[in-house]
Copies of this chain bind each other. A is one copy, B any other.
Amino acid sequence: MPYLKKPIPQPEPIDCRILSAALDLFVRDGYHNVSIHHIQKQANVSVGSIYNHFGGKEGVARALYIHILKEIEELVDDAITAETSPLMQCQRIIRDLFSYTESHRNIIAFVFHARHVEFLPNEPHACDSAPFIKMRGIVAKGIACGELRALDHWVAAATLFGGAIRMIQLRLEGKIEQPLPHYLDEIMTAALSGVKADSDGRAGC
């Protein structure tokens, strides 16, 4: 039996351990309250390895930021392909963000709760990143095709997603007791009624 040919089941590759340890610590204590040494202990690696892989604490944060934004972008892309109308796409995104907040708390917290500009001054701000640009693109399309009212695009996006984002933040801060999906319908209808065009039949999407 080839026991010995099997590699010892290394639980995770070293860079993943570093990233997930850093994510936990950054979210719990805030970037500036976490030192390389904290990460090193939590991930069971050495300082040297962290520098080898990421070039330092800021490098870890940058890798994390990019990785997580990519994950959010996938969530948005999935919504875009799964639904046809902009309105349904927005609904889908909110729904998925809500359930993601429950299942991948720290990922959502890192995006919606950290002030990246304070430690990644050279990275574009989150709201200039691909997933958020795409979300605004959906809103613009909804307005163009008459599904949404002809509001300023920023206003429409803020109204549509503002309430949901606020709920996510409150949930992350522990203010809201129930899991977010519990509030999904109420939030959705409230947000939509602010931006939906008067339903006079034409859905040109």
Nearest residue (CB) in B for A115 is B115
A175: chain B residues at CB < 8 Å are 127-128, 154
- The answer for the CA separation of A193 and B117 in the assembled complex, in Å, is 34
Number of interface residues, chain A, beta carbon within 8 A = 43
Which of A73-81, A139-147, A162-170 lines the interface with chain B?
A162-170
The reply to whether A155 and B170 form a contact with Cβ atoms under 8 Å apart is no
Beta-carbon contacts under 8 Å, A110-146 to B:
113-115, 117-119, 125, 127-128
- The answer for the CA separation of A33 and B31 in the assembled complex, in Å, is 12
Contacts A125-B173, A166-B165, A170-B127: A190 and B113 contacting too (C-beta < 8 A)?
Answer: no
- The answer for the CA separation of A31 and B186 in the assembled complex, in Å, is 37
